[in-house]
Amino acid sequence: MKVIKPAWVEHSTGDKQTRSPIYSISVHPDGTRLATGGQDNKVKIWNTLPILDPAAAENELNHKLLCTMSAHTGPVLTVRWAHHGRFLASGSDDSVLLIWDIDPAGGGRVFGSEEVNVENWKALRRLVGHIADVVDCAWSRDDTMLASVGLDSKIIIWDCTNNFERMITIDAHDTFVKGVTWDPVGNFLATQSDDKTVRIWNTDTWQCVEKVSKPFELSPSSTFFRRLSWSPDGAFIAASNAMNGPVFVAAVIEREGWQSDISFVGHENTIQVAAFNPRLFFRIGDEPSRVNASCMVALGADDFSVSIWRNTMHKPLTVIRDIFNRAILDLCWSNDGLSLYGCSADGTIMAVSFRIEEFPELGLPEMTQMILDEYKYKPARKRKALTLGPSSSFAAPAPGGEEKVNMLQPRKGKPKPRKINLHGTMAGGAVGANGRSSSSMSMGGSGGRAPLQRPEDNIGRSPQRPVLHTEPRGGALDAFARAADEPLSMGSSSAARAHMLEGARGIFDDRDRDRARGRAYDDREYPRGGEKRKASMSGDDDYGRPTKGRSLGPSRALPPVQEIRAPLVTISGGSLGGGVQPLPFPRPQTGIQTNQEDGNGSFKAVNVESPQGYSVTFSQGGSDLWMDFLPSPAIIIAATSQFCAVTCLDGTVRTYSTGGRQLDSFKLATPATDIVGSDGRLLILAADGNLSVIEVKSRRQFIPPTSVRHLIPDAAGGDQQPVETFLRPNGTPVLVTSEPAAWAFDRDIGVWSQIAASWWSASPLNENEGRTRNGRSGPNGPLAEIEAKVTAMRRDAPPDPKPKWWNESMACGHYETRLRGARLLGSKEEYRHWLKEYAKYLADESFRERAEDVLAELMGPIFQ
């Protein structure tokens, strides 16, 4: 699991460009786009590739913001993609619901802003019916109906098969309606209101079949949303803002009998949103059926935390705490079930990305449809099939119907010439392994999609406007639509998302592959993934400019890795002066290779004697992207998502951006014993015993050179050797020695502080296989890992018999060392755990003076 907080996703207001709350978030069915609505009255569409892939975020060729839409005149409170992916619905404080569609003829610079829309979305329909804020909306599973709710206490159902005409208005709730969700079977609609009820509506008669109120009798009315969610198997509803006595819970309302005896318990404040994973789970070996199906749900609360649950477990799978600074307002899952997105009133979003290995019981999309078919539901009246015309069709609706829907007509412009599209690619899209655009969204696995224009087809158009192909589609729908008679597949886009991510990393080897197969190729046929074209005020196209960056071709494998000298040696000459022995350092090998922490790229060094000399190469997606030649053999390399570093036998250290730009080159007095990269920082331990940490891109010293000689006084001649070096994300270096002990550098006082030692292996806290004295296991974390390494090297034994007060003294010292270590390592959970355990121990043993010291430190200075 990886939690990501992209700082560049924001809605801002005012001259100071301060962040404004993001009220709603929705991910496109194919996982490639993310829509957000904020207090700045705007709807924004973002590219999910740079959100999920840190390497892609650093590549300027990958667009981040795809489109900004500003047709609303009030804060945007809800955004929801249709299941077919063609339309986006948004509801606002201005009482209007807008339906957005792609507009091939629009786009360009956003009015009154420096932003340029890469994709061109315009309001196709303006649905007027509410007389107060539209708080939430939801598409039926077959996209034939759209439900909206608001602060006018009304529920409005819109007919998507008839130009979004109003079907029915339900005015039965006593006050504000703040959440709506559809039964995936199609039989019911559920709404939740500040009248402290969840009401279930029959979609054939639109009569209320059940009013659930018991879990909400004590619920507060202070939350702005009561977003509820229906499980993908149709078996139950997770309703937010419920109470079980004084405890904040999410209520579970079962379909059979509408009972609400079960709830999710654990949040410390009101739960505002519940969101089910659209995929079902089945135990390995079980026959997929409704009885064996289980679900996953995410809850967001005003305690700034997100919890993820399985309905078959009594505790959450994970709890993500303090991810936001204010209340969580919306959550949504991608259709592949592997990504969760959330937004907050603090103006930020999060993305939680899971690996498929973490969800081994994840069911296939067709299994969901099979479970829903078991209900054998047939609508009382036949619903008109949903048909979608060309995306450029902004024509007026057919006459008829009592209430007319306001429509926005695009300006008519002079037709611009364009070439016939042959290959189906779009600027700004992620390119797949075959050189075609993977951003063309195949809905439901249909494979029927209209081609998108290539950058070279935009002759005569503004270069920042990628244009969709506008030929009539007939029975096939383009990238934002699906055939009406095709069975809907929830989550069928997992392959599309994987293709997008894979294609963005492997775009550089396509021409070489074609050349090897003897296939003629055209440079312009391979637009680079996320290609960003310079905005031109004159509208002239930079035709003829390469659309793909140069690469070095297919990745070349390392030669056999062999040690060409002893693995560790010392500097010839014996000492550094004054009898001080240098630390040993690695000797060169014929080849060294390491991967970035996210696994996206690899960095390798080759030390084979050749006319070209020694070299380092960075590879990604099967291709070598860049290379540099070194003055001396490489001995250690490091790679992070932000930079690469190499140190040479002559003491040279070089750092590079992941794009290949040489950031720095300097020379140490002695070769480096070790270098370690973490995020944007690099730790360097030299053979002369000096350790430093630098911030690579800003070229600043985070920790100036400081000696570690006193920690390993006999490094060359005796048994004292540096065992391992770490660099924590907060920039704290950690050194484990064979004393055995572990030391962390305390920047506040400029000294090395001991955070683990074999001395504490005799502590009472380590009895019963590492359990604390009250039988509770400590949390997993960096401190626990380091302490385990040191304990494994233990050589001494406690005295026997033990002197008086031995256990009490050892326990207190061990607790205090753990607290100091957790603080230096930035391990919040471990610090919180051991602080609580230490306080309990002091209370149990009646150590009043120590307890008062702890309280005084936590309270801080008190001035009279």
DSSP assignment string, 112-142: TSS-EESS-EEEEEEEE--SS-EEEEEE-TT
**Between 11 and 524, the higher pLDDT residue:** 11
- Asked whether the whole model's pTM tops 0.95, one would answer no
Q: CA-to-CA distance for 757 and 739, rounded, in angstroms?
A: 8
The answer, yes or no, to whether residue 148 has pLDDT greater than 60, is yes
Please check the confidence at residue 542 and state whether its pLDDT lies above 70. Answer: no
CA nearest neighbour of 571 among 673, 447, 680, 711: 673
Confidence of residue 611 (pLDDT cuts 50, 70, 90): low
Q: Where are the domains of the chain?
A: 551-733, 739-864
Return the higher-pLDDT residue of 116 and 684. 684
- How would residue 493 be classed by pLDDT, with cut points 50, 70 and 90? very low
The stretch 667-682 carries a mean pLDDT of 91
**Least confidently predicted of 512-521, 685-694, 707-716:** 512-521
Q: What is the mean pLDDT of residues 451-456?
A: 32
* Average pLDDT value for residue range 300-320: 90
Q: By percentage, how much of the chain surpasses pLDDT 70?
A: 71
Q: Which of 89-98, 359-368, 611-620, 823-832 has the lowest mean pLDDT?
A: 611-620
pLDDT at 480 over 60: no
With 90 as the cut, is the pLDDT of residue 127 above it?
Answer: yes
pLDDT of residue 290: 82
What confidence tens digit (pLDDT) does each residue in 800-819 have? Answer: 666 777 778 888 888 888 89
Confidence at residue 793, expressed as pLDDT on a 0 to 100 scale? 75
Query: What pLDDT sits at residue 776?
Result: 43
Scanning 390-468, the segments in alpha helix (DSSP H) are: none
| C-alpha closest to that of 147 among 82, 52, 205, 103 | 82
Across the range 727-737, mean pLDDT stands at: 90
Tell me: pLDDT of 106 over 60: no
Asked if residue 91 has pLDDT above 80, the reply is yes
Phi-psi region of 538 (alpha: psi -120 to 50; beta: other; left: phi over 0): alpha
What percentage of the chain exceeds 90 in pLDDT? 39
Give the pLDDT of residue 534: 35
Distance (Å) of CA 828 to CA 262, 269, 747, 783:
32, 21, 18, 11
* Cα distances (Å, whole numbers) of residue 31 to 285, 335, 434, 578, 816: 29, 7, 20, 63, 47
pLDDT at 573 over 90: no
pLDDT recorded at residue 453 = 33
Predicted pLDDT of residue 475? 29
C-alpha 173: how far from its chain's center? 37
Compute the half-sphere exposure of residue 80: CA atoms within 13 Å on the CB side of its CA: 27
Q: What token pair was written down for 276? A: 């089910």
Res 109: pLDDT: 56
Alpha helices in 726-827 (DSSP H): 767-770, 782-792, 806-825
Report d(CA 311, CA 281) in Å as an integer: 10
pLDDT for the residue 245: 86
State yes or no: pLDDT of 583 exceeds 90.
Answer: no
Which of 26-40, 77-91, 458-472, 713-727 has the weakest average pLDDT? 458-472
Residue 775 pLDDT grade (very low, low, confident, very high; cuts 50, 70, 90): very low
Give the C-alpha separation, 838 to 814, whole Å: 10
Mean pLDDT of 421-450: 33
Confidence of residue 510 (pLDDT cuts 50, 70, 90): very low
Kindly write down the DSSP assignment for every residue of 655-674, as one continuous string: EEETTS-EEEEEE-SS-EEE
Question: CA 163, CA 160: separation in Å to the nearest integer?
Answer: 6
Which has more confidence, 35 or 452?
35
491 has pLDDT over 70? no
Q: What integer is the mean pLDDT of 159-171?
A: 92
Give the Cα separation of 752 and 758 in Å (integer): 17
Report d(CA 378, CA 382) in Å as an integer.
9
Exposure letters 329-368 (e unless 16+ CB within 10 A, then b): bbbbbbbbbbbbbbbbbbbbbbbbbbeeeebeebbbbebb
Residue 535: strand pairing partners: none
- Look at residue 530 in the predicted model and tell me its pLDDT: 36
Q: Which of the four pLDDT bands, split at 50, 70 and 90, describes residue 50?
A: very high
Angle, CA of 532, 536 and 542, to the nearest 5°: 65
For the residues 189-205, what does the mean pLDDT come to? Answer: 94
d(CA 649, CA 671): 6
Q: State which H helix or E strand residue 68 sits in.
A: strand 65-69
Q: Greater confidence, 393 or 690?
A: 690
pLDDT at 713: 63
Amino acid at site 417: P
Domain boundaries 551-733, corresponding CATH code:
2.40.128.630
Number of helices and strands (H, E) in the chain? 10, 51
SS3 of residue 521 by DSSP:
coil
Give the residue, 396 or 689, on which the prediction is more confident: 689
Section 712-729 average pLDDT = 68
For the ranges 58-62, 257-261, 306-310, 495-499, the lowest mean pLDDT is seen at: 495-499
The answer to whether 334 touches 29, Cβ cutoff 8 Å, is: no
Mean pLDDT to the nearest integer, 459-486? 32
pLDDT at 389: 62
- What is the helix (H) or strand (E) element at residue 510, kind and residue range? helix 510-516
Omega prior to 740 cis, within 30 of 0: yes
Confidence of residue 450 (pLDDT cuts 50, 70, 90): very low
Q: Is 4 helix (H, G, I), strand (E, B) or coil?
A: strand
pLDDT for residue 557 = 62
Average pLDDT over residues 115-124: 84
Q: 254 falls in which pLDDT band (50, 70, 90)?
A: very high
- pLDDT above 90: residue 89: yes
Mean pLDDT of 148-152: 94
How many Cα atoms are found within 13 Å in the side-chain-facing hemisphere of 702? 23
Give me the mean pLDDT over the 20-28 stretch: 95
Of the listed ranges 124-138, 293-307, 596-610, 675-689, the least confidently predicted one is: 596-610
For the cut 80, the answer to whether the pLDDT of residue 401 exceeds it is no
What's residue 663's pLDDT?
92
What number is the average pLDDT over the span 481-487? 34
Segment 255-260 shows an average pLDDT of 90
Q: How many residues does the chain have?
A: 864
Bridge partners, residue 46, by sequence: 34, 65
Query: How far from 79 is each of 31, 134, 144, 300, 790, CA to CA, in Å?
Result: 15, 11, 17, 17, 52
Q: Which residues pair with 344 in a beta bridge?
A: 328
Q: For the chain, give the mean pLDDT.
A: 76
